[in-house]
């Protein structure tokens, strides 16, 4: 009864390998979502880089124009060019702050992605090892169930009972054989007492 209850409880337990498979599916899904989000952030980093390059080039171009205007004695034009240069420099500085922030976030996300990928790999390796252990446990459980059924009283074979039955059969066979031999002996004696018809017929012959 106890063994039956234990086996029933084991059967009702959730399959741990199925739980691990579900966990891996969830982790893979999270990884894919994280990759999409990180791709957007990293893409934003590259976009800011391009804008920074543009702002830097614009600043350098207007710097040359300021120099050119001053060399020509056109101070008014030089001021206009300088205003554009300062505007480009401010844009560059603002973009640089955004870039540094986005870059840090991108690096942090890439680190988390690597950690998640490593965790998934560890979980997958553990899943394979756990599956082997679980299958071995299942096989052992089935073997134990078979052996326990063999050991139960209902299936036990009483060798003494079998021996007694065989002895009874042997005794019966010997008894029947003795009867057969006795019967054969009686028949032999009966033959001795049989009437010889030829001899009896001679008695009727005319003398």
pLDDT digits (tens, 9 = 90+) for 14-72: 788 888 899 999 999 988 988 888 888 888 889 999 999 999 999 999 999 999 999 99
Q: Is position 117 within any domain?
A: yes
Whether residue 111 sits in one domain with residue 98? yes
* Residue 67 belongs to domain with CATH number: 1.10.287
Pair (17, 115) in one structural domain: yes
pTM greater than the 0.85 cutoff: no
Which residues fall within 8 angstroms of residue 27, CB to CB, at 6 or more apart? 116, 119, 120, 123
Assigned domain for 120 exists = yes
Q: Are 146 and 179 within one domain? A: no
**Closest listed residue to residue 137, CA positions, set 13, 1, 2:** 13
Greater pLDDT, 183 or 161 = 161
Radius of gyration (Cα) for the chain, nearest Å? 54
Considering the domain architecture, whether residues 63 and 127 belong to the same structural domain is answered as yes
pLDDT reported for residue 207:
54
Query: What total of structural domains would you count in the chain?
Result: 2
168 vs 205: which has the higher pLDDT: 168
What residues make up the domain containing 90? 2-155
């Amino acid at each position: 009864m106890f063994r039956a209850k234990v086996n029933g409880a084991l059967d009702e337990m959730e399959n741990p390998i199925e739980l691990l498979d579900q966990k891996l599916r969830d982790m893979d899904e999270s990884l894919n979502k994280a990759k999409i989000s990180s791709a957007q952030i990293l893409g934003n980093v590259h976009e800011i880089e391009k804008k920074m390059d543009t702002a830097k080039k614009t600043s350098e171009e207007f710097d040359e124009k300021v120099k050119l205007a001053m060399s020509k004695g056109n101070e008014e034009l030089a001021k206009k060019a300088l205003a554009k240069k300062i505007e480009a420099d401010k844009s560059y500085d603002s973009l640089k702050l955004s870039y540094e922030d986005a870059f840090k976030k991108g690096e942090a996300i890439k680190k988390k992605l690597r950690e998640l990928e490593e965790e998934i790999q560890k979980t997958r390796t553990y899943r394979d090892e756990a599956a082997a252990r679980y299958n071995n446990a299942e096989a052992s459980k089935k073997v134990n169930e078979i052996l326990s059924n063999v050991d139960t009283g209902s299936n036990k074979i009483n060798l003494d009972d079998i021996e007694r039955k065989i002895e009874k059969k042997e005794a019966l066979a010997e008894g029947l054989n003795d009867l057969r031999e006795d019967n054969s002996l009686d028949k032999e004696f009966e033959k001795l007492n049989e009437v010889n018809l030829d001899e009896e017929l001679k008695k009727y012959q005319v003398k």
